[in-house]
Amino acid sequence: SQVALEYGQAMTVRVCKADGETMPVVVVQNASVLELKKALRRHVQLRQARQGGVQHLSWKYIWRTYHLTYAGEKLADDRKKLREYGIRNRDEVSFIKKLRK
């Protein structure tokens, strides 16, 4: 993924958590929201393996209780491309807890 980033075929999307931590996630230029979620999952699993922390996270639970937002807009449609939301290289996407209905 780093090679693709060098050649302009990929972009880095910074995902900000509520605690202020920012995770740089690399995805291809025409990635969908689902591909961003998969890349985020891969990033977190690699980091946990390196640190020796919690080995298993329930991603089903995470996506049920949190959603990704960009410029106040929810990234609700997994099939929609990031470019359609206006997300470019080095843009920040936030992890926001869903409100109960």
Q: Which domains can be identified in the chain, with CATH numbers?
A: 2-97 (3.10.20.90)
Residue 101's pLDDT band, with cuts at 50, 70 and 90, is low
Tokens of 43: 């990033």
Q: pLDDT tens digits for 3-59?
A: 776 677 888 999 999 888 999 999 988 999 999 999 999 999 888 888 877 678 899
Q: Which long-range contacts (C-beta less than 8 Å, at least 24 apart) are formed by 82-87? A: 82/13, 82/27, 82/31, 82/32, 82/33, 82/36, 83/29, 83/30, 85/33, 87/13
- Is residue 10 a contact partner of residue 1, using CB atoms and an 8 Å limit? yes
pTM of the model: 0.88
Residue spans of beta strands (DSSP E) within the chain: 10-16, 22-28, 66-70, 73-74, 92-97
